[in-house]
Structure 1
Amino acid sequence: MAITNLNPLRYPGSKGRSLDFFANVVRESGFNGRQIVEPYAGSASVSLGLLEKGLVSSVMLFERDPLVFAFWYSAFFRTQELLESIRTVDVSLDTWKALDVYRQYETVPEDQIVQCGLAGLFFNRTNFSGVIHAGPIGGQSQSSAYGIGCRFNKVDLMKRVEAVAELGSNVEVYFGDALQALKDASLVQNDDRFFYIDPPYYTQGKKLYRYHYQFSDHENLAAVLAAANYDWVLSYDAHSVIEFLYDGMNQYRRSFRYSSRVQKVEEELLISNAALSGVEEGTQLVLFDEVDVPEVDALLENAVAAA
């Protein structure tokens, strides 16, 4: 079973449907055959899809959200226990409330990793838009036509987890901060790796992610990547502030079709310290001198004031 369109996790902005685009970039830019490191794992659609296609040798994932980390770790390395927990869980509002305690965790106790992994999957599949810190589908009253279990098909989810687990021998999963991973010399000084970086959105990050970024975090990420001596590819929501922070880097603006309640197309920036090949026709190279600089100044002032 192919996992590219059957990821167990629902994720806002998941890149699964754009995998062919990323695969072409990897092939044409000479990244194929290397290990891919994804410091913001999330749905991990790109890295796992590239591994499944045989375009990368292995995958290294980092995830700061304890429940998302625990899910991926359990899916790859505690597979049977996770499958059993999915099979036996009662998909109800009572379970949602009982599992809520795990959303308070800042780390993952080793003896609770499977329970935390189940909680991560449960909230992802039963919450509005797959957002872990959101409320349950159908609300607390469960009076909607769509109830809490409408996206938690146990048989289907177990098949998806089994498909993912087949890749486990070529996957490493770590709990940790993305910026620290990007600065870790033991990781980055290796020509056999490249980094795919998909940080929290600049505009909607606070709404979509529990561990969202303030302006200073986006600024710090840009500083780390500006100093990097390894190959990296970065995807961001298109915003003048992001264009400004990565002035001097190769920036491409293109449209991605995202999965949501209403199918929509959003513009996104693809940024790299390498000149990428295989970028589809119609993708525009972004030149910062085309941007209204006074407008960016105002945006930066507002961002700093709000931080």
Structure 2
Amino acid sequence: MFDIDQVSSGQAIINVASVPQRSPFRYPGGKTWLIPTVRQWLKQENKITRELIEPFAGGGIVSLTAAFEKLAEQITMVEMDEEIAAVWEVILNEKNQWLADKIYTYDLTHANVKAELENPNKALQDVAFCTILKNRVFHGGILAKGSGMIKNGENGKGITSRWYPKTLRDRILAINFVKDKIKFIPGDAFEVLEQNIENKNAYFFIDPPYTVAGKRLYTYFDIDHERLFALTAQLQGKFMLTYDDTPEIRQLADKYRLQYRTIPMKTTLHFEKNEIIVSDNFEWWVEGKGR
């Protein structure tokens, strides 16, 4: 996993600190760095997008940005992972305040975290809290099996390194202002895509588990990538599909006659790599944004 910090955009480097942080998740593989490009894509028709569908919602930064910045009238978020889904279900319903308060008042110690995670009798809101807890105290925010608690952390702060209770509370409560625009489906991305193949009014932001890092980062990493390309090629709405830049992904794009561009990005360790953006058209693409 890479802790993404910056993305190349034209002649400038856009620091993700300049992008409003809306999500309560510290999400591995998150797309905060891509937000300037997503805005460009959503604005291609010079009008507010009627509907945005995000079938692999994850940390939800694209959906939240679209909601807060009025880039879409209606947003559908879909997530299969039960833990992540629990967070969105709680945040988008009446337990929003409960979760925000629980995080803000929680006494974060190793003993308390251990007891919380080992409690076998969890209601939905408890699952949501434990998910946020793990996301913030586990290495890299990784929720998949095999991940464990931070030991040293930043400046020796250990498990408190990424625990910002006031910030998390404020982000969760802020979603109250836009949650009426958002529909959440705890389900299968493929089913939702199949149901919306003929939806010409929708924009689809599709960010699946990647072929290289997915196994290490996500519980539901094992997806049928070729089936996803085949479904994407049938969509009648507008779409943006993101992937790691590998020969296999390029071959799938070519096989289904899908246009793509590459976009470079930098990590906090200044590691440079390309990602691929597949889209139904690139009339919205500004030269210099990628290569």
**1:222 aligned to 2:222?**
no
Deviation readout 1:74-98 (Å, 9 max, x if unpaired): 1121211111221333322223323
Match of 1:233 among 240, 243, 249: 240
Report the Cα offset of residue 270 of structure 1: 0.4
Change (3 A) 1:128 1:280: farther
Change (3 A) 1:129 1:80: same
**1:85 aligned to 2:113?**
no
RMSD over aligned CA atoms reads 2.5
State the TM-score, normalized to the length of structure 1.
0.79
- Structure number having the greater helix percentage: 1
Query: What's the secondary structure of 2:285's corresponding residue?
Result: coil
**1:72 aligned to 2:81?**
no
- Structure number having the greater strand percentage: 2
Q: Distance in 2 between matches of 1:173 and 1:130?
A: 22
Q: Which amino acid in 1 is paired with 2:214?
A: G
- Give the structure 1 partner of residue 252 of structure 2: 245
**Is contact 1:123–1:130 with CA below 8 Å preserved after alignment?**
yes
Match of 2:278 among 258, 271, 275: 271
Q: Distance in 2 between matches of 1:240 and 1:14?
A: 22
- Give the structure 2 partner of residue 62 of structure 1: 78
State the TM-score, normalized to the length of structure 2.
0.83
Match of 1:174 among 185, 191, 194: 185
Match of 2:169 among 158, 168, 174: 158
Q: Distance in 2 between matches of 1:113 and 1:173?
A: 15
Match of 1:26 among 33, 36, 42: 42
Change (3 A) 1:211 1:99: farther
Match of 1:137 among 145, 150, 170: 150
Report the Cα offset of residue 31 of structure 1: 7.4
Query: What's the secondary structure of 1:269's corresponding residue?
Result: strand
Change (3 A) 1:231 1:30: farther
Runs of 4 or more, structure 1, over 6 Å off, are none
**Is contact 2:77–2:184 with CA below 8 Å preserved after alignment?**
yes
**Is contact 2:43–2:49 with CA below 8 Å preserved after alignment?**
no
Change (3 A) 1:279 1:99: farther
Unaligned regions of 5+ residues in structure 1, if any?
286-307
- Give the structure 2 partner of residue 289 of structure 1: none
Aligned residues: 268
